[in-house]
């Protein structure tokens, strides 16, 4: 548990469309020996073609996540994968609503929400991503955008225990321009307050809200100190040894 409160931190590694079997093996070989289980929950999300390999290669206690899943069980949806198929493979986690899905693949709030709803009904655990673009932040619409995206998702959630919310400002993703600890904390608090007012105080206290966007070994410790930052969704740095450093910032130093 994070000594700040009762939420167990969560760190996800989003490999995006990167890597090969050999690279995945390197990543998993670095991860498997690390003793983090008492302090932080960890998931790696490789491209879908490597999910089975990842699942078979990780030790117990290292989770594997898909980067996407469709909102139907089966059928004529060329190129898509369903939560049921992921479960069949033994995959329990899925990232949904990532800004690259929203932007490049034009996923609307409604589509993201329906995918979240279907994945949860299929007993998957969801990392639900929300976050504003640069122009939205600059025109002071951060709260409006983040809450609009969250609200759409919330309609489809009956039980929040299988949801991790990832706040990922789009301007910080893959840009090297990380949010300051205070910027992250401010939005995380807005999200938690919204959960308290609109869902319940318990859900607000129990739900992990993680930050994503240019998280590195050099900035993760400061971000992790923020009261409402419960971990990270890591892109670029999840491909390198830096991922271990990021996880280690949740492990007490005597270990
Ligand atoms: P980044 O990506 O760490 O490379 O900025 C984060 C993400 O997209 O989840």
The secondary structure element, H or E, covering residue 130 is strand 125-130
Establish whether 222 is a catalytic residue. no
Out of 41, 136, 168, 248, the active site residue is: 168
Establish whether 168 is a catalytic residue. yes
DSSP 8-state symbol, 124? -
Look at residue 178 and give its three-state secondary structure: coil
pLDDT value for 2: 61
Q: What is the pLDDT along the chain (255 residues), one digit of tens a residue?
A: 666 678 999 999 999 999 999 999 999 999 999 999 999 999 999 999 999 999 999 999 999 999 999 999 999 999 999 999 999 999 999 999 999 999 999 999 999 999 999 999 999 999 999 999 999 999 999 999 999 999 999 999 999 999 999 999 999 999 989 999 999 999 999 999 999 999 999 999 999 999 999 999 999 999 999 999 999 999 999 999 999 999 999 999 875
pLDDT value for 255: 54
Per the DSSP assignment, residues forming a β-bridge with 45 are 14
Distance (Å) from CA 129 to ligand 1 centroid? 11
pLDDT value for 3: 61
Distance (Å) from CA 128 to ligand 1 centroid? 14
- SS3 sequence of 190-229: HHHHHHHHHCCHHHHHHCEEEEECCCCCCCHHHHHCCCCC
Please state the atom number of ligand 1 nearest to the C-alpha of residue 173. 5
pLDDT value for 253: 85
The secondary structure element, H or E, covering residue 248 is helix 242-248
Q: Would you say 242 and 31 are in contact if contact means Cβ atoms under 8 Å apart?
A: no
pLDDT value for 107: 98
The whole-model pTM stands at 0.97
H-type alpha helices, 93-219: 99-104, 109-121, 134-138, 142-154, 181-198, 201-206
pLDDT value for 5: 77
């Amino acid at each position: 548990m994070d000594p700040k409160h009762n939420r167990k931190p969560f760190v996800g590694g989003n490999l995006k469309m990167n890597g090969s079997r050999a690279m995945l093996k390197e990543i998993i070989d670095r991860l498997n020996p690390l003793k983090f289980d008492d302090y932080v929950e960890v998931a790696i999300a490789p491209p879908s073609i490597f999910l089975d390999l990842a699942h078979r290669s990780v030790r117990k206690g290292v989770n594997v996540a898909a980067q996407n899943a469709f909102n139907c069980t089966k059928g004529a949806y060329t190129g898509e994968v369903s939560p049921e198929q992921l479960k069949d493979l033994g995959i329990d986690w899925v990232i949904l609503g990532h800004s690259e899905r929203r932007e490049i693949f034009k996923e609307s709030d409604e589509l993201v929400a329906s995918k979240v709803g279907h994945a949860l009904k299929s007993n998957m655990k969801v990392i639900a991503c929300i976050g504003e673009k640069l122009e939205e932040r600059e025109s002071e619409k951060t709260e409006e955008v983040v809450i609009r995206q969250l609200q759409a998702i919330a309609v489809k959630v009956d039980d929040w225990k299988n949801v991790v919310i990832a706040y990922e400002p789009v301007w910080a993703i893959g840009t090297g321009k990380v949010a300051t600890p205070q910027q992250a904390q401010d939005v995380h608090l807005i999200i938690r307050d919204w959960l308290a007012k609109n869902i319940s105080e318990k859900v607000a206290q129990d739900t992990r809200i993680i930050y994503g966007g240019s998280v590195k070994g050099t900035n993760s410790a400061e971000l992790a100190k923020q009261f409402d930052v419960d971990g990270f969704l890591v892109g670029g740095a999840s491909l390198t040894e830096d991922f271990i450093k990021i996880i280690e910032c949740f492990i007490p130093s005597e270990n």
